[in-house]
Amino acid sequence: MSAGADQITYEVRNAKPPGETLKENLDFLGISQADLARRTGLSIKHINQIALGAAVLTPETAILLERVLDVPADVWNALEASWRTQEQRRQDAAALQERLSWLDNFSLRELVARRIIPNRAKTVDNLRLLLEFLEVGTPEAAENVWGSYKVAFRRSTTKVPDDYATAVWLQLALRSAREIKCDPYSRGKLIALIPKIRALTLTEPAHWLAELPRICAQAGVAVVFEPAMPRTFLSGATRWLATDKVMLALSDRFKKIDQFWFAFFHEVGHIVLHGKRLTFLDENPAAQSGVSAEEEEANRFAADTLIPPAYAEQYRRLSEHPKPFRNIEAFAKFAQIAPGIVVGRLQYEGRLQWSEGHRMLTSVDFTSHKTSDE
């Protein structure tokens, strides 16, 4: 989570031009600007421009002043840097003032709720905090960065997503993932851990919400649970943070156990099957077959992990006679998988109505922060 809204907003300091300090020292020592010019070998005009703040006090000049005035060069350099930085901040604030309308692209309510900005005011401070959170220098830079990302995205969607909300959600996930300590990524270790991870489906969400990140970190996978945001239509995402660390981020968009676990193993499929250079953003993996080869492969990986081909015959018989629901419970016990996952598969295949089997569909909700993706 971003700490942006917790930061103290920047206040322009009362730095003064180094030329003022120079004049004070000359007055104290009784040295004229002309005399200083002779002592340093600089022109009177240049000394006067420094005194007026019109010329930059360079490190070379700072060393000369150190010898003549017995004021350390570091002091002159620091005075110059503080003054120039302050002036640049004033110019930057003026430029940001002209770009405040960029905030209209975002849900300020969501930014406040996620503690990215402290309030919903369209101010320079809030725009600066948002840019710092997104780790970009300007709104234009943000647009360019997101434009380049789109080339790498593999995103299935039947709706038009909000790129700005998507960028915020992904950045929240990235920041959380960076804080997770992981062993170096090992494809073999991740595959070996899958049976242990699959067994978590039989436990309560409170348990696997704690265990999934811990287990996956052993294989170099930083698992992040980031609550869904409006208009992102995201179930999950994978992104390589380094050659030996990958983020696997999940949302609670659908808030059901079957959707969660399919999305999780879908993202695992991307990690173990596909390259390290791509970012995958997935809307609803279970419902999006045929979009791309990568998506189909990830879908198959998730489906076969949750209900392995070894159980195909038993599942076929179940799918022909899913009711009474004790048939589902018996198969789930046989396959060592949560009944809700079986219900979700049967619903997806049209063997059950979407309104049936709800008592088996455990709810998944990452936080009490409620949003709607519709």
Residue range 193-243, pLDDT digits in tens? 999 999 999 999 999 999 999 999 999 999 999 999 998 888 889 999 999
The sign of the dihedral angle between the CA atoms of 326, 331, 335, 340 is negative
Which of the two residues, 313 and 148, has the higher pLDDT score? 313
Assess whether pLDDT exceeds 90 at residue 180: yes
Which of the two residues, 367 and 309, has the higher pLDDT score? 309
Q: Can you give the pLDDT at residue 284?
A: 66
Q: Can you give the pLDDT at residue 152?
A: 46
Assess whether pLDDT exceeds 50 at residue 159: yes
**DSSP-based three-state secondary structure for 238:** strand
Q: Which residue has the tokens 């005035």?
A: 69
CB of 100 within 8 A of CB of 124? yes
Q: Can you give the pLDDT at residue 261?
A: 96
Lowest mean pLDDT among 90-104, 145-159, 182-196, 339-353: 145-159
Task: Return d(Cα 339, Cα 75) in angstroms, integer.
Answer: 71
pTM: 0.83
Residue 237 makes CB contacts below 8 A (sequence gap 6+) with 170, 173, 247, 248, 249, 267, 279, 280, 281, 282
Q: Which residue has the tokens 């809030």?
A: 126
Question: Burial of 63 by CB count in 10 Å (0-12 exposed, 13-18 middle, 19+ buried)?
Answer: middle
Q: Can you give the pLDDT at residue 371?
A: 39
Q: What integer best gives the mean pLDDT of the chain? A: 89
Q: Can you give the pLDDT at residue 285?
A: 66
Domains contained in the chain, CATH given:
18-97 (1.10.260.40), 100-151 (no CATH), 163-303 (no CATH), 309-360 (no CATH)
Q: Which residue has the tokens 């156990």?
A: 257
Q: Can you give the pLDDT at residue 155?
A: 54
Q: Can you give the pLDDT at residue 277?
A: 66
Question: ∠131-161-270 over CA atoms, to 5°?
Answer: 90
The Cβ of residue 53 has, within 10 Å, a number of other Cβ atoms equal to 17
Q: Can you give the pLDDT at residue 175?
A: 96
Task: Return d(Cα 119, Cα 96) in angstroms, integer.
Answer: 17
Is residue 369 very low, low, confident or very high in pLDDT (cuts 50, 70, 90)?
very low
Q: Can you give the pLDDT at residue 275?
A: 76
pLDDT per residue as tens digits for the range 331-354: 999 999 999 999 999 999 999 999
pLDDT per residue as tens digits for the range 239-278: 999 999 999 999 998 889 999 999 999 999 999 998 776 7
Question: Burial of 115 by CB count in 10 Å (0-12 exposed, 13-18 middle, 19+ buried)?
Answer: middle
Lowest mean pLDDT among 119-128, 274-283, 309-318, 364-373: 364-373
Task: Return d(Cα 238, Cα 210) in angstroms, integer.
Answer: 19
Q: Which of 308, 366, 365, 310 is nearest to 342 (CA)?
A: 308
Q: What percent of the chain has pLDDT over 70?
A: 89
**Which ranges of the chain does DSSP label H, i.e. alpha helix?**
18-29, 33-40, 44-52, 59-69, 73-97, 108-113, 124-134, 139-152, 163-178, 187-199, 205-217, 257-273, 293-306, 312-320, 326-335, 339-348
